[in-house]
Structure 1
Amino acid sequence: MKSNNIIKLKNDKYRKARGGHARFLNVSCESCGEPLFLYQKDGPGHLKRVYVDRIISPATSGKAKLLICKSCKKVIGTFYIYDKEKRPAYRLYQDAVIKKIVKAKTL
């Protein structure tokens, strides 16, 4: 995933609403370990949902109703609109993913 283009954290009203703290996460399938996507997590706390606009790579349109591992076909989450912010997101199933913090320098 290395390239000459540096991936920068998005800095918008959603990040500011969560205290300004953000980091990149490599999200993988818990079942088979297959990497699913690179994600920008804003604020503290558990990863309960992933916002479509925060999935860095591979880019997704957010049109699929289910988030499915391409390797083992396990359902990871369900698409919905997060009412509080009116944002498209995937609600993750408990213990469906493994996440690791990635430093921006290594991207």
Structure 2
Amino acid sequence: MVVFGKELYKIKSDRYKKARGGWSRIIKLHCVECGEYLFDYQKDGAGILKRLYFDRIFKELPKKPLKCKCGQLLGIPIIYKKEERPAIRLFSGVVKK
């Protein structure tokens, strides 16, 4: 269990985390356009945020295009072929940590 802000999260530790170096962090995601808080996300490994895996999002989301309340389209649902995992492919520069 990890405390992040006022929230208590259980970090998922599985083969995907191990494949990315075995370390994770929780990040708060915001819309770049309006600054609206979106949700918390478990980011595994180093590198930029290209995809949001549904099993790493700490909020229940429908599997449809991800939009902010301001109307900005943030990403589209995909199946990441390499791992056969459902994810949201983010558009470049639409979210900030």
TM-score, with structure 1 as normaliser: 0.82
The match for 2:42 is 40
Q: Matched residues in 2 for 1:59 and 1:37: separation?
A: 10
1:62-73 matches, cutoff 5 A: 63-64=63-64, 66-70=65-69, 72-73=70-71
Tell which has more relative contact order, 1 or 2 (C-alpha 8 A, sep 6+).
1
Q: Matched residues in 2 for 1:83 and 1:38: separation?
A: 24
The match for 1:102 is none
Could you list the runs of 5+ residues in structure 2 that have no partner in the other structure?
none
The match for 2:91 is 93
Whether 1:2 and 2:6 are equivalent positions in the alignment is yes
Could you list the runs of 5+ residues in structure 1 that have no partner in the other structure?
100-107
Cα distance, 1:21 vs structure 2: 1.1
The match for 1:59 is 60
Give the length in aligned residue pairs.
93
The match for 1:24 is 26
